[in-house]
Amino acid sequence: MFSGIVNGWKKGDAVSLLSTALKRVIQTYPHLQGIKKTTGLATEIIDIGWEANESLFSGRRGPRPHRISIAFWSVSYALENTKPYSEINQLMVFTFAMFAQDIAMHSHSYNFNEIDELILDDAYSRGERVRSDANQAKSTPIATDG
């Protein structure tokens, strides 16, 4: 019973953080200002991420992770699962970068545990795969002579 309440609270914390991050990114990049419903989008991203990684997020496999770990991993998952170069994909790229920078600069103040470390490592790996795939796509010739 209590785990459901705590899960809802942890999800809500991650949604709030992600919604704030999405708003910041949209304010920074004018071409993304057509995206309006950041709280709804943040809720969807966290819900999908939570479902995909529930055993770690819910604390079933150890201590519960920090809300920034949940949000960052969920963004990395969304980044992998959005259409490349779409508006939402661009929003995920910039949000991923913002979280990565924040975590690099402030990780000492977040008191990450071993579950956070697993989640963050996986999120970074997902981001690297997306970057690598994008670089390969860009290096493929569109037309060849002949």
Extents of the domains making up the chain: 2-136
For range 7-16, the mean pLDDT: 93
- What mean pLDDT value characterizes the chain? 90
pLDDT at residue 43 is higher than 80: yes
Whether the Cβ atoms of residue 120 and residue 69 lie closer than 8 Å to each other: yes
Q: What is the predicted pLDDT for the residue at 57?
A: 96
Please report which confidence band the pLDDT of residue 40 belongs to, taking 50, 70 and 90 as the band edges.
very high
Place of tokens 């990114």: 25
DSSP code for 58: T
pTM value > 0.75? yes
**Helical packing angle, 67-80 and 2-28, nearest 10°:** 60
Whether the Cβ atoms of residue 97 and residue 50 lie closer than 8 Å to each other: no
Distance CA 138, CA 80 (A): 17
Q: Whose CA is closest to 91, among 133, 135, 44, 136?
A: 44
Whether the Cβ atoms of residue 62 and residue 114 lie closer than 8 Å to each other: yes
Instruction: Give the list of residues 6+ apart from residue 3 with CB closer than 8 angstroms, or none.
Output: 58, 59
Distance CA 73, CA 96 (A): 9
Q: What is the predicted pLDDT for the residue at 138?
A: 59
Q: What is the predicted pLDDT for the residue at 142?
A: 55
pLDDT at residue 107 is higher than 70: yes
- Tokens coding 76: 């990395």
Whether the Cβ atoms of residue 24 and residue 98 lie closer than 8 Å to each other: yes
Q: Whose CA is closest to 28, among 90, 74, 104?
A: 90
- In tens, the pLDDT along 55-103 reads 999 999 999 999 999 999 999 999 999 998 899 999 999 999 999 999 9
Please report which confidence band the pLDDT of residue 54 belongs to, taking 50, 70 and 90 as the band edges.
very high
pLDDT at residue 15 is higher than 90: yes
Q: What is the predicted pLDDT for the residue at 102?
A: 98
The size of the chain, in residues, is: 146
Please report which confidence band the pLDDT of residue 4 belongs to, taking 50, 70 and 90 as the band edges.
confident
